[in-house]
Amino acid sequence: MDTEILFTKLEFNRGEFPEDILAEAVDQHGAIIPLLLEELRLAAADPEALSNKGGSYIRHIHAMYILAQFREAAAFPLLVDFVSTPGEIVMELTGDVGTEDLGRMLASLCHGDLGPIRRLIEDPEVNEWVRSAALDALVDLYAEGQLNRENIIDYLKELFLFKAERKPRYIWSAMVNTACDLYPEELIEEIQRAYAEGLVNPGDVGFDDVKRTLEGVKEKRLEDTRRYRKGLIGHVIDEIGWWACFQDTNDEDFSNREPYEVDDDFWSTPVQTVVRRGAKIGRNDPCPCGSGRKYKKCCISKDGRLH
């Protein structure tokens, strides 16, 4: 298939998983990667224009996964520019990709260049979920054997002491969670001070959770972190083929957007979609069902919000 046509077919979620299209895009990666880089550049340059394409526009998401799959170094600064956009628009454009896989993407694309990741973490104008994802990238790099635990702990100490703004924001909860992933024995005084100053929301992670982590065996905790991380981004079909977001696109009218005909059997593997309604529930917010557990530990999968 012509690369330009293939690139066009990646634009919208039309109700079913486009496995054949993605497989061909991967096969033609040498030709399509420049187009995907341009997609990401345009997303970074004008996220509002991307938003105006409608909720079913998905090519920027495909671009992020394919470029991460191929460890395309040129995509790293473009991705960082895109997710650095202040406000909520990045999360509106990426949904749960931003909370679940953005860290893995940053880890997959950085090739040891940690400066942009640190700038994301430290910039108070960057969306809190993006900052959290950047912290996740450090843990992913540790799990992959590309970063030493001690180096991350030293950096976390700098964040706790003077690099993070001393205001109650989610970044503090993310810092505590990251410290717990790496066993926070060297950081307990800084963490305790953060709770005492009201910087950490106990509803996200309580100080008792930190103490319980320290009651465990250090090597067991670190082994669990290495074992249960999802790893760097793999084949795009394996990464997104199971998503619940490739159906129920009846609110979109593609009649004026189709520059080509779609064969009846062109698409494959239908997957149930999820359309968010009402206010967004944070993954670490109390579950609205009233169980007392965090949303990510309770009804998130029932609501279909894995992605």
Residue 197's SS3 state is coil
Phi and psi at 35, nearest 5°, equal -70, -40
Rounded CA-CA distance 86/165 in Å is: 16
Q: Could you give the CA distance from residue 78 to residue 112 in angstroms, rounded to a whole number?
A: 16
DSSP 103: H
Q: Return the amino acid letter for 83.
A: V
Classify residue 253 by burial, with Cβ atoms within 10 Å: 0-12, 13-18, 19+. Answer: exposed
Residue 142 phi, psi dihedral angles, 5° rounding: -65, -50
Residue type for 261, please? E
Reduce the secondary structure of 238-305 to three states and give it as a string. Answer: HHHCCCCCCCCCCCCCCCCCCCCCCCCCCCCCCCCCCCCCCCCCCCCCECCCCCCCEHHHCCCCCCCC
pLDDT score at 292: 52
Counting as low any pLDDT under 50, the low residues of the chain are 249-280, 297, 301-307
The whole-model pTM stands at 0.81
Whether residue 48 contacts residue 89, with contact meaning beta carbons closer than 8 Å, is answered with: yes
Widest pairwise Cα distance in the chain: 63
Instruction: DSSP letter for 186, please.
Output: G
Neighbour tally for 282: CB within 10 Å: 16
- pLDDT computed for residue 122 by the predictor: 98
Q: Name the nearest CA neighbour of 79 among 30, 132, 120, 34.
A: 120
The set of long-range contacts for 236-239, using a CB threshold of 8 Å and a minimum separation of 24, is: 236/22, 236/25, 236/26, 236/62, 236/65, 236/66, 236/69, 237/19, 237/22, 237/23, 237/26, 239/65, 239/69, 239/101
Question: Which pair of tokens denotes residue 275?
Answer: 């359309």
Domain spans, the chain = 1-144+231-275, 148-230, 277-307
Closest to 222 in 3D by CA, of 286, 169, 149: 149
Alpha-carbon distance values, 241 to 15, 56, 246 (Å): 13, 16, 9
Which pLDDT value is given to residue 62? 97
